[in-house]
Copies of this chain bind each other. A is one copy, B any other.
């Protein structure tokens, strides 16, 4: 009958919708609006994105992070080209092959320690350029914050974007958790995206308290010529767009995005600190955003999952992932850590 959860560390998308967002959606409900985005709410939300990310940007709302990633790649590539990314990248690991299916492009992967890649790791792929038997590397895709909970600093991003642009490549950022990254760095969203040379951003709201709100942000408007068609052909064009736009309006009102992201990050830090002090628990990765990875005794996991659901990251090493979110409370953490202690005692 479906897993019933009250609280969990399953994922930041196991949480519901922030009340301010829900209210904003209700507020735009009365009356008619032209469908597909030519309505006042959507116009206003696009204007808000320009205030946040810079006047020169263009933004398109889509339904899912996978949609945002795949359509970004479609905008940046032809099928004879390839996308270089970390082996752990969501586009490679968790999208059921959607990038390859939809774009026809090849993914070329780089093994990493912590989910972050460097320009130097991309360099060997340059040898393929001009050789017709190889897919042509055209895009570097990085995730911020990464799937392993780490965060690229602006200089690290700049090194990648400069390398890319020096070699005729573009940079896509999967920002499903960009808010958490920016909050962690205490920097504006644009500082780790457009200002750091990113060409196209998948901007995620759903994991930070929206119901269903992702956006593709282009920092180079020359890339958007076809994008409205790509979005439609990619089945990501909402008819009642105002309800998506309203979510983003709430997101950027009174810094809701930042309040939520900071809170989730703080809860992760707290969880790592307290759980890490429990004998038998080893925090296995740096906690830089809102994800905590830990190695636990294998036999302890099922019982813990029943009370607070979470995912096992690596069966072999018995490593688990705990995600915090805008609605995680200190009480949740205390309760969970108490359970941890009891279980591992």
Residues of A whose CB lies within 8 Å of any CB of B are: 1-8, 10-11, 13-17, 19, 22, 25-26, 28-44, 63-67, 70, 78-80, 82, 93-98, 100-102, 104-107, 127, 132-136, 206-207, 211-212, 226, 228-240, 242-243, 309, 315, 327
Contacts and interface: CB of A to CB of B under 8 A. Distances in A.
Q: Is the interface of A mostly helix, strand, loop or mixed?
A: loop
Nearest to A28: B16
B16 A96 contact: no
A35 B9 CA distance: 12
Contacts of A67: 235
B38 A3 contact: yes
Contact of A80 (B22, B64, B97): B97
A141 to B, nearest CB: 15
Contact of A243 (B17, B104, B135, B309): B17
Contacts of A243: 17, 211-212
Closest 10 pairs between A and B when the two form their complex, measured CB to CB: A80-B229, A97-B135, A97-B106, A101-B104, A2-B43, A13-B239, A5-B32, A67-B235, A96-B232, A16-B29
Nearest to A316: B124
A96 B227 CA distance: 12
**Residue with the highest number of chain B CB atoms closer than 10 Å, among A2, A70, A98:** A2
A233 B38 CA distance: 28
A95 B13 CA distance: 30
Contact of A11 (B35, B94, B315): B35
A171 to B, nearest CB: 20
8 contacts: A10-B34, A14-B34, A16-B28, A16-B242, A95-B233, A96-B134, A100-B100, A100-B104
Contacts of A36: 132
A231 B79 contact: no
Given A33-B16, A101-B79, A240-B13, A2 B132 contact: no
A6 B13 CA distance: 34
A233 B79 contact: yes
B2 A14 contact: no
Contacts of A34: 2-3, 5, 8, 10, 14, 309
Nearest to A62: B235
A14 B33 contact: yes
Contacts of A63: 63-64, 212, 235-236, 238
Contact of A100 (B44, B105, B235): B105
A66 B67 CA distance: 14
A4 B133 CA distance: 21
Contacts of A238: 63-64, 212
A105 B315 CA distance: 26
Nearest to A35: B13
A151 to B, nearest CB: 22
B70 A96 contact: no
A226 to B, nearest CB: 6
